[in-house]
Structure formats: C-alpha cells, structure tokens
Amino acid sequence: QKEVEQNSGPLSVPEGAIASLNCTYSDRVSQSFFWYRQYSGKSPELIMSIYSNGDKEDGRFTAQLNKASQYVSLLIRDSQPSDSATYLCAVNLASKIIFGSGTRLSIRP
C-alpha cells in the first residue's frame, strides 16, 4: 500500500461547480497534512495545511481531515479555469513530507 494515495484523474468539473479531491494515507501517526497545487512545468505551491480533525476554510478552498478514517480532502468552490492543475496531497511522516501522485483537475468553461 502506498503511503499517500490519490486518484490520478483527470477530474473534469464545469466552471462554477465544486471540485472535490480526495486522499488517503497509511500512517496513523501522521499529524500534518497539506494540499499543494502544481501547474505544468512549475514547482508545487502550498494551498492549504490542516492539522486537526474537521474542516478548515480559506477563501474558495476547504480542507477536510478525518484521522480515524485516514482521509483528507480538498474542496474548491466556484471552480475557475485557473484552478486547472495537478493537486498534490502531502503527509508528514517521520519529519519528512511524503507526496501522493497527484490528481489532475480540469475545469471546463
């Protein structure tokens, strides 16, 4: 089992709709969880970090964490074409950050 798993996509969402990205992780001791956005040919950009169970909102982005289910998600409201990118879920593990393989999101006009 991979340490961090994501559906590779592509996930196609109409403009203005909610995009939902999911991630599961294998190590129960992980305490820090991150979502990064990566445009093609660019390095990852931190969007959200979450450390406690529940929801954390920042603008159009909401991160959700459920440690019991070892599940973290990212919701993007009012999706824009500029949101089209690969979204990387990342989890801390023994002072290192382990990345999922990423979900490619495409927002169609």
Partner 1 sequence: GAVVSQHPSRVICKSGTSVKIECRSLDFQATTMFWYRQFPKKSLMLMATSNEGSKATYEQGVEKDKFLINHASLTLSTLTVTSAHPEDSSFYICSARPPSNLEQETQYFGPGTRLLVL
Q: List residues near partner 1 by CB under 8 A.
A: 32, 34, 36, 41-46, 49, 51, 88, 92, 95-102
Phi, psi of 34 (to 5 degrees): -140, 150
Residue closer to partner 1 by CB (options 83, 100) is: 100
Is there a contact between 37 and 82 (Cβ–Cβ < 8 Å)? no
Residue closer to partner 1 by CB (options 19, 89) is: 89
Rounded to the nearest whole angstrom, what is the least distance from the CB of residue 16 to partner 1 in the complex?
Answer: 28
Residue closer to partner 1 by CB (options 12, 32) is: 32
- The Cα-based distances of 94 to 65, 91, 98 in angstroms read 19, 10, 10
Rounded to the nearest whole angstrom, what is the least distance from the CB of residue 90 to partner 1 in the complex?
Answer: 8
Measured between alpha carbons, how far is 48 from 46 in angstroms, rounded to an integer?
6
For the chain, the 3-state helix, strand and coil shares in percent, each to the nearest 5, are 5, 55, 40
Rounded to the nearest whole angstrom, what is the least distance from the CB of residue 34 to partner 1 in the complex?
Answer: 7
Residue closer to partner 1 by CB (options 2, 17) is: 2
